[in-house]
Chains A and B, each alone.
Chain A
Amino acid sequence: MTEPLSPIATLRRELDAGTTSSRKLVEGALARAGRLESLGAFVGLRAEAALAEAEQADARRGRGELRSPLDGIPLAIKDNLVQAGEPTTCASRILAGFVSPYDATAVARLREAGAVVLGRTNLDEFAMGSSTENSAHGPTRNPWDAERAPGGSSGGSAAAVAAGIVPAAVGSDTGGSIRQPAAFCGVVGMKPTYGRVSRYGLVAFASSLDQVGPFARTAEDCALLLETLAGHDPRDSTSLPESVPRYREALTGDVSGLVIGLPREYFVEEGVDPEVLAVVRQAVAELERAGAKTREVSLPHTRHAIATYYLIAPAEASSNLARYDGVRYGHRASGAESLGAMYRRTRSEGFGAEVKRRILLGTYVLSAGYYEAYYRKAMQVRTLLRRDFEEAFRGCDVLLTPTAPEVAFRLGEKAADPLRMYLSDVYTVSANLAGVPGVSLPGGFAHGMPVGLQLLGRALDEATLLRVADAYQRRTDWHECRPPEPA
């Protein structure tokens, strides 16, 4: 039998009661991963290592030496976070054969907490995409409808949690890559404040926007994971020094008096599926019934966010991806007679179309004569977007918006049209540009597919986001809806 895994909180009760063991959980997870292989959620499983680590966790439990509430819990890691002794592919041919000699800080912290890494999950190549279709390993499918995309770029992690293979997973979010797939797959996904979780060992896409964050079924499990992931790391110069609150203690279920801002620009009819908007409005009403106040606010520069993002992210990416040159690791084209030929052939063979597109775009906007007009301009608009949030948060505690303007689209539906694909990040990129935290949680269904609610908060105020998300989940059961079991 391969039952979908319950939330961590439930699993811990069963472990404490002795009705299950870490080994049983990991065995079940591996069996289920095998059974649901056609989802394409995983690009690699650590079957033996995971079972061995589970047994060690059971032994610790036996000795009463549990390291943390995550001890012995199987998790999945997006394949752009390096793990010592394991391959990291970033779903790219250019990293073929690469095995990392070191652990990402986020991974190391989970290991120290006793969590068992079951395997590496699929993504768009170098996290560049919104559908997990741009992967050297093939696409990941949406557990709710195999013909649809799980969103991206952390589609593998979102699908693995939605399908109940693991209770929680880790992903990265540069323009919505955690929140949008969480929305499409009907799970909770959080992008913390920029600098809250160390980026050390996260393969860089756009360094000033990238942030590591958790996926889970409940806000409570997200809080638990974030307590482990977050915190200052001297190896990351952009890591924030502030101490980490005990997020679970913020989950009081009480939102009375809390002011929820509804950004006008996110509720415009055009460009957003009306059924999605309807779901979001029901959620607003639910939170009002719970005692929260709502008011309309404005983020006037929102319509410039995508343009700003698609100048800044590719520019940084074009530089971050220069290290993939076939010299020290990864793919090298064979038989090149000169260094220049080796570079060109290696990179042309190794990178997929979307990555090449963004490298070209980024190289272009940084190149002589265009820097001022494009890159510098984008950095200035980024300032305006940041100020929008500062202004909005003077009048409210959190913002509530749709996570995406639509439900999960069909595989291949947007693959041919880069710009249309880019526009599906319209509600998520602003948080990355401003560095503020955001969470997406299941808010209902439209067209039979999950709809995500996005909560955005003040910098370092993840606690309030989780409190609201948890309060909402106490009053609704959307997060308990399971995708159909494949025959």
Chain B
Amino acid sequence: MSSHPHPDYEVVIGLEVHVQLRTESKLFCRCAVRYGDDPNHHACPVCLALPGALPVLNGRAVELGVRAALATHCSVHPRSVFARKNYFYPDLPKGYQISQFEEPLATEGWLELELDEDGGTTKRVGLTRIHMEEDAGKSIHDTAIAGHEGSHVDLNRAGVPLLEIVSEPALRSPEEAGAYLRSLRQLLRYVDVSDADMEKGHFRCDANLSLRPHGETTLGTRTELKNLNSFRFVEGALHAEIVRQAALLDAGERIVQATMLYDPAANRTRVMRTKENADDYRYFPDPDLVPLQIEVEAVEGARAQLPELPEDRRRRFRETYGLSAYDARLLTESRALADFFETAAREHANPKTVANWVLRDVLQALKERDAALEGARLSPEALAALLRLVDEGKVTAANARPLVPELLERGGDPLALVRERGLEAVSDTGLLESAVDEIIAANPEMVERFKAGEEKILNFLMGQVMKRTRGKADPGAVRRILARRLED
């Protein structure tokens, strides 16, 4: 993920992310927040903007907004004001969007990014502001659906609660922008603020980008890239825009402030509209909604309930459990996974072993079933118990491994399962010695070659013994006995 700086210009990127808050009902009415239903099945006088209808604020949305603000180290304002952003569009029923402008919910925070796989380099990206606003509906221009004369308007999404999170122009490459979006999305999921599902439009990104000669301190003229709705899309669009702007600057031309559209097929950006026909949104405080007040106690209460943030937990996993930055990052991808690992690690002497089993066996088994850890029957305690059986030589690692998927589906006690499958490791010396003697007797020429100095023969003989004991023999014990017998 490391970023390659542009030879001639410093790249300056700022991102605006719109995140859908995880609520049952819309921001200002009680209609369901539901994706993919038939048009206008979740609409009422308020979100249809019928004459006389009025907005009432969803308290849950405010809670989630505050939580997101705290998770990004923003200061939550005791008073914020909803304002009307006035413009005409068919999917904007009132002719204005209820948003926040002069007095947003929160300002001045930061987000920590890890800029490479092994988490060696991290970067704090400043956040300018976080504000609440309502989503618009959908205008469907697709002629296949809407025909050629007109467009369709569906207001199911109109009024769905959004958080707009605005970064400082502090990102220096498309890759950094990608890293920023990934850790923001992970964080918001981690603290249960949003499902941040890009396919469903829960997590939408606009970018602004400008170039300036290295060492230059004043910002160049920026352009805006709208609706970059997948990570690959974002990085592709930004790369394309860098190429376009650099070419213009090289040619001594000036950048025109404009809104750009990215064509992924051609991998080019083109001007959608310039700021000459700039919007005039005529923001003013919404008279239907008096100012939102949030007491310090409420904010502190929310802060107290905030879980340990992924960035802190990663650090702690490295320090207390001696994990690699890479493993620590994978284990903190979701709160459920991090909790699972940590509970298991507490029950077991070697956290690294636990991490390996969780990241390899548990995750793979989940992936194969595409199941979620939340629903799995395997408790972290049970995993720890299974690993202890391996340590104590009661079952071999090789035999324990296939049990993980079973425990995942059926749950239950690992020892019982080992017994049921008759997989207890054999460490009874008498039994092993006789098995070893039989193998030696059965392979005289191999024994000769070993004595002649063919070390690797030992592994062959071990394999034979293991086969004879159907994999249940404690490999350590077998190796000792073999070695002793072959001495004489």
Contact = CB atoms under 8 A, between A and B. Distances in A.
B288 A238 contact: yes
Contacts of B45: 101-102
Contacts of B256: none
A319 B96 contact: yes
A325 B49 CA distance: 11
Contacts of A82: 50-52
Interface string A230-262: 000011111000000000000000000000000
B289 interface: yes
Interface in A309-337: 315-316, 318-319, 321-323, 325, 327-329
A318 B93 CA distance: 15
Contacts of A201: 52-53
Nearest to A198: B54
Contacts of A445: none
Interface residues of B, number: 29
Contacts of A206: 287
Nearest to A339: B90
Contacts of B94: 322-323
B356 to A, nearest CB: 55
A200 interface: yes
A200 B90 contact: no
Q: What interface size band does chain A fall in?
A: 35 or more
Interface in B86-126: 86, 88, 90, 93-96
Interface in B50-96: 50-57, 84, 86, 88, 90, 93-96
A329 B153 contact: no
Contact of A234 (B51, B56, B93): B56
B189 to A, nearest CB: 31
B56 A203 contact: no
B282 interface: yes
Contacts of B53: 102, 200-201
A200 B86 contact: no
Interface string B428-439: 000000000000
Contacts of B288: 204, 207, 237-238
B326 interface: no
B372 interface: no
A171 B427 CA distance: 95
A90 interface: yes
A201 B284 CA distance: 23
B287 A208 contact: yes
Contacts of A236: 54, 56
Given A235-B56, A315-B284, A323 B290 contact: no
B290 A98 contact: no
B88 A325 contact: yes
Given A101-B45, A319-B84, A319-B284, A81 B52 contact: yes
A322 B86 contact: yes
A367 interface: yes
B280 interface: yes
A238 B95 contact: no
B482 interface: no
A368 interface: yes
A343 B92 CA distance: 13
Contacts of A328: 48-50, 93, 153
Given A101-B45, A328-B93, A368-B280, A323 B51 contact: yes
Contacts of A98: 51
Interface in B255-308: 280, 282-284, 287-290
A342 to B, nearest CB: 9
A6 interface: no
Task: Give the most central of B51, B88, B280, B290: most A CB within 10 Å.
Answer: B51
Contact of A366 (B52, B93, B284): B284
A43 B90 CA distance: 31
A237 B54 contact: yes
Given A238-B290, A339-B90, A367 B282 contact: yes
B92 to A, nearest CB: 9
A199 B290 CA distance: 14
A286 B141 CA distance: 70
Given A319-B86, A366-B282, A207 B52 contact: no
B289 A88 contact: no
Contact of B95 (A90, A325, A339): A325
Interface in A355-375: 363, 366-368, 371, 375
Given A207-B287, A208-B287, A366-B284, A235 B51 contact: no
Contacts of A316: 284, 287
B427 to A, nearest CB: 72
Interface in B36-52: 45, 48-52
A242 B52 CA distance: 23
B219 to A, nearest CB: 22
15 contacts: A81-B52, A100-B50, A206-B287, A237-B54, A237-B57, A318-B86, A318-B282, A319-B284, A323-B51, A323-B93, A325-B90, A328-B49, A366-B283, A366-B284, A375-B284
Given A201-B52, A367-B280, A367-B282, 11 more contacts: A88-B51, A204-B288, A316-B284, A319-B282, A319-B284, A322-B96, A323-B49, A323-B94, A328-B48, A343-B88, A366-B283
